[in-house]
Amino acid sequence: MAVKYELIKQCKQSGARLGRVHTPHGVIETPAFMPVGTQATVKTMSPEELKAMDAHIILSNTYHLFLRPGHDIVKQAGGLHKFMNWDRPILTDSGGFQVFSLSEMRKITEEGVHFRSHLNGDRKFLSPEVAMEVQNALGSDIMMAFDECPPYPAEHDYVKKSLERTTRWAERCLKAHARPDDQGLFAIVQGGMYKDLRIQSANDLTSMDFPGYAIGGLSVGEPKHLMYEVLDYTVPVLPAGKPRYLMGVGSPDALIEGSIRGIDMFDCVLPTRIARNGTTMTSQGRLVVRNAKFAEDFGPLDPECSCYTCRNYSRAYIRHLIKADETFGLRLTTYHNLHFLLQLMRDVRQAIMEDRLLDFRDSFFASYGLFDN
């Protein structure tokens, strides 16, 4: 089996658990945050820097690499690990979400999705079979089934028809899976914000026995309490012996709340995206370092952080670089934000080990809300 989940410890206070996901390129300690490397790079970070902050796995996007440079070039390079010089695990999503969020002129049929590239308007087609061919060429350790992520809000009838097609597409992905011993294939549970549909989607997909299950269709504009509600009734329908991956999440509070509800894997562009406009995550909340108030502040971004950025550079210096549009400034804020979330997940795992995750949440939230810029 390419990907196997090892349950280490079930938290006594909550649905959280400690685990390990074993893959051909290494082990992922869970709950885990996965830095996003959309176009075969975690923006401004080198693989060595990602290892220095102890990222166990990164995510890359099938849609983007399919459009540019094309999966055949990555395959000729020896696969994505070789192409981007990353020898630890890689998870690739299947492109379904990006087709709906990025491309124009989409036409969705039972066969797949016809769309125009957001880069140059070229006609393109993605389907379960094509998504599997692309991810096979990329050589990722964990592949995602091709799915439709319905918009929010969406009518019950639309979501039901959509999830039933996503289930049929998942079956086609299984059939098209060329290397089950080298690549794990996760199915994606849909069903919108409807309990009956989430349970139907989860039951249909778990009956096909995938090595892992993602919860999709969330973090699409719904209020956070609604996302947590969906998790409350969806996670219990998933097998305890398989990893659960919450797609597109998230912010520090969502990572903690999702872990409490038994989620094992998370990904989000937030830390890298906000870093590029000079916004950083600190133990006291968000800090917008480009703010004039930091012009003569010679302390670190976060006094409680031990990362390369916080050990060597001041808020005043980083603010100067950001204002001067110096790339090094973006690298410093990105490094810190990624380290912040990876460190948060290390603290979450330690709290689960010591059965104090709910207390950890309360103390984190108490300090995280403090900062106002």
Q: Which residues bind ligand 6HD (CB under 6 A)?
A: 93, 96-97, 147, 149, 188, 216-220, 247-248
Q: What is the C-alpha radius of gyration for the chain, rounded to an integer number of angstroms? A: 20
Please give the Cα distance from 163 to 158 (Å, whole number).
9
Beta strand pairing status for 26-30 and 32-34? Answer: unpaired
**Min. distance of Cβ 221 from ligand 6HD in angstroms?**
9
Question: Which lies closer to ligand 6HD via its Cβ, residue 216 or residue 258?
Answer: 216
248 binds, among ligand 6HD, Zn ion, none (CB under 5 to 8 A by kind): ligand 6HD
**Min. distance of Cβ 215 from ligand 6HD in angstroms?**
8
Please give the Cα distance from 16 to 72 (Å, whole number).
40
**Min. distance of Cβ 120 from ligand 6HD in angstroms?**
23
216 binds, among ligand 6HD, Zn ion, none (CB under 5 to 8 A by kind): ligand 6HD
**Min. distance of Cβ 347 from ligand 6HD in angstroms?**
23
Binding site for Zn ion (CB under 5 A): 305, 307, 309-310, 336
Question: Which lies closer to ligand 6HD via its Cβ, residue 127 or residue 219?
Answer: 219
Q: Choose, from 141, 147, 264, 267, the residue flagged as catalytic.
A: 267
267 given a catalytic annotation: yes
Task: Give the chain's largest Cα–Cα span.
Answer: 61
Question: Which lies closer to ligand 6HD via its Cβ, residue 96 or residue 252?
Answer: 96
**DSSP per-residue letters across 53-112:** TT---EEEEHHHHHHTT-HHHHHHTTSHHHHHT--S-EEEE-SHHHHHHH-EEEEE-SS-
305 binds, among Zn ion, ligand 6HD, none (CB under 5 to 8 A by kind): Zn ion
Question: Which lies closer to Zn ion via its Cβ, residue 234 or residue 280?
Answer: 280
**Min. distance of Cβ 216 from ligand 6HD in angstroms?**
2
Residues 6+ apart with CB under 8 A from 351: 357, 359, 360
Taking the chain, what is the end-to-end CA distance rounded to the nearest angstrom? 49
Question: Which lies closer to Zn ion via its Cβ, residue 144 or residue 281?
Answer: 281
307 binds, among ligand 6HD, Zn ion, none (CB under 5 to 8 A by kind): Zn ion
Each as own residue / partner, the long-range contacts of residues 224-233 (CB below 8 Å, 24 or more positions apart, any chain) are 224/253, 224/254, 224/257, 226/193, 227/254, 228/257, 228/261, 229/193, 230/193, 230/195, 230/198, 231/258, 231/261, 231/262, 231/263, 232/261, 233/195, 233/198, 233/199
220 binds, among ligand 6HD, Zn ion, none (CB under 5 to 8 A by kind): ligand 6HD
Q: Choose, from 93, 141, 204, 302, the residue flagged as catalytic.
A: 93
The residues annotated as belonging to the active site are 93, 267
